[in-house]
Chains A and B, each alone.
Chain A
Amino acid sequence: MVRAALATKRRIGQGPRPLAAFIPAMSVIAASLLAALPVVTTSGWFPDFGFLALISWRLLRSDPWPAWWAAPMGLVNDLFTGLPIGFSVALWTATMLALDLVDRRTMWRDYWIEWVLAAMLISIDEWLQWRVAAITGARVPLVAMAPPLVISICVFPLSAWLVSRIDHWRLGR
């Protein structure tokens, strides 16, 4: 009773937005669509927006979407970013599985552990992109992947913050 009295005053009619269950997945697809930005770069150092959004959501909550949704979302990302089709499908689904296993192992979580986890996942993503590019005939030196990797890792906190804001908004808090 006392606790309820001390809580912030809830406004009447406040609650989850309509389609709240679909907003996380839609925001990941929207992030993938950022690849359609009218930016012509010669270096390709932008972060992989779709993947960043995916791991930000998954690290924030264990159930942003049913795990298998990662496969169709990956397909959308492949189609819009020009990656070979199937790359994100496999990688994103494997990421969901890996984070489920991590959830069972870790005793406690804080922001630094999440950032380290995200950095590892981003490194795996960049390394695999480099590998696949090498197989398809574009063997760039591995050093050339360092700047986009560092940029992506530095952008992750921003993406995590944005995702937590979207989560608050969608749950109507």
Chain B
Amino acid sequence: MATARPGWSRRAQYGLFFSFLALIAGIIVGAILLALSILAPARFESVRGAALDITGPVAGGLHEVTATVEGVFTGAGNYWDAAGQNGQLRRERDQMRRQILQARAILQENRELKAVLQLREHQRDTIAVGRLVGSSLSSPRRFAILSVGSSDGVRIGMPVRSPNGLVGRVIDAGTIASRVLLVSDRANIVPARLLRGGIPVISQGRGDGTIDVRPLEVGRNPFRRGDIIITSGTGGLYPPLVPIARIVKLDDDGAVAMPLADPADTSFAIVEPPYEPAATAEESSP
């Protein structure tokens, strides 16, 4: 279609016209698909899952290579300063030991108090453990690819956490890989509270790797730099008491926080069942 009229050949003119029609048809089909995937995302679940099964292992295999190379370099770096590091680690260990003893005592006390109150204890079981092998590279949305899928029992909507804190929730599940909506995505809203004082807050991603936190009760800004935000368990999807983020900056009526489970160096992520399956099922049914 480089020229307006490809000469006197009827055939060439028709060819030009039909390629024009094909383009228009392509645009219309694309627009319809886009509308469908915005309005009824469930329709494309299986297709998206199949595509994930192709990308997941590729990313996983390459991830092994980069992790090994990185490991060699950081490993060499650790030898460089072994003596100083040794002393520091020993000091940290002694301090940890004291804290663990304290924590054990508190745990014991807690258990007794709960028994007195006859609170029902939730069993936290793990569905699957996988690695974060990739992420959305060029998009305002924040997704990560997890190396476990529906063959390991992962279902859409399950919360994902790492030993350091909350990672996000599953939004696409392939057979051997799944896609996770990170807590730093704008659409991921987590009911949370401040570890210090237990003030209820709402955490929402900002799309650039950080999180916005707002108090539920408007008024005084309750945040301080360095505060830890933990999940509250409200809503029934995320389990309570999972650390989410640390506050790094205050603004007018809230604060900006950095996720504790940085997906860039989270090696393992744990998929858990929804905390209160009944509550989330009710929510997703209509």
Residues of A at the B interface (CB closer than 8 Å) are: 33-49, 62-63, 66-68, 70-71, 74, 79-94, 96-97, 100, 103-104, 129-130, 132-133, 135-140, 144-145, 148, 152
Within 8 A of A (CB), among B31-85: 31-38, 41, 44, 47-48, 51, 54-55, 58-60, 62-63, 65-66
B37 engages A38 (CB within 8 Å): no
Within 8 A of A (CB), among B1-54: 1-4, 19-20, 22-27, 29-38, 41, 44, 47-48, 51, 54
- Tell me whether B110 is interfacial, beta carbon within 8 Å: no
A38 engages B60 (CB within 8 Å): yes
B59 engages A38 (CB within 8 Å): yes
A74 engages B207 (CB within 8 Å): no
Which of B29, B62, B140 lies in contact with A145, CB distance below 8 A?
B140
Q: How many residues of B contact A (CB 8 A)?
A: 66
Give the CA-CA distance A35 to B141 in the complex, in Å: 14
Which of B133, B179, B187, B262 lies in contact with A42, CB distance below 8 A?
B262
Given contacts A40-B135, A82-B143, A104-B4, 9 further A-B contacts (CB under 8 A): A42-B262, A68-B25, A71-B30, A83-B139, A84-B37, A86-B31, A94-B27, A140-B206, A144-B207
Chain A residue at smallest Cβ distance from B259: A42
- Tell me whether B208 is interfacial, beta carbon within 8 Å: yes
A44 engages B27 (CB within 8 Å): no
B62 engages A44 (CB within 8 Å): no
- Tell me whether B274 is interfacial, beta carbon within 8 Å: no
- Tell me whether B200 is interfacial, beta carbon within 8 Å: no
* Given A86-B34, A86-B37, A140-B186, also A100-B1 (CB < 8 A): yes
B142 engages A133 (CB within 8 Å): no
Q: Is the interface of A mostly helix, strand, loop or mixed?
A: helix
A67 engages B1 (CB within 8 Å): yes
Which of B30, B62, B140 lies in contact with A86, CB distance below 8 A?
B30
B207 engages A93 (CB within 8 Å): no
Least CB distance, A154 to chain B, in whole angstroms: 14
By a CB distance below 8 angstroms, the chain B residues around A136 are: 38, 141, 187
Chain A residue at smallest Cβ distance from B58: A36
Q: List 13 A-B contacts (CB under 8 A).
A: A37-B59, A39-B135, A40-B135, A40-B264, A43-B208, A44-B137, A46-B138, A83-B139, A85-B34, A86-B37, A90-B26, A137-B187, A140-B208
Give the CA-CA distance A44 to B264 in the complex, in Å: 12
* Given A44-B142, A86-B32, A89-B33, also A37-B62 (CB < 8 A): yes
Among A36, A62, A70, A83, residue most surrounded by chain B Cβ atoms (within 10 Å): A36
- Tell me whether B184 is interfacial, beta carbon within 8 Å: yes
* Given A39-B135, A70-B26, A85-B48, also A144-B36 (CB < 8 A): no
By a CB distance below 8 angstroms, the chain B residues around A81 are: 136-139
Give the CA-CA distance A112 to B38 in the complex, in Å: 37
A96 engages B142 (CB within 8 Å): no
A84 engages B140 (CB within 8 Å): no
Chain B residue at smallest Cβ distance from A48: B138
Among A38, A47, A130, residue most surrounded by chain B Cβ atoms (within 10 Å): A38
- Tell me whether B254 is interfacial, beta carbon within 8 Å: no
By a CB distance below 8 angstroms, the chain B residues around A94 are: 27, 30
Which of A79, A87, A139 lies in contact with B48, CB distance below 8 A?
A79
A89 engages B26 (CB within 8 Å): yes
Give the CA-CA distance A79 to B54 in the complex, in Å: 10
Give the CA-CA distance A96 to B34 in the complex, in Å: 18
Chain A residue at smallest Cβ distance from B22: A68
- Tell me whether B130 is interfacial, beta carbon within 8 Å: no
A43 engages B139 (CB within 8 Å): no
By a CB distance below 8 angstroms, the chain A residues around B140 are: 44, 129-130, 133, 138, 140, 144-145
Give the CA-CA distance A49 to B143 in the complex, in Å: 17
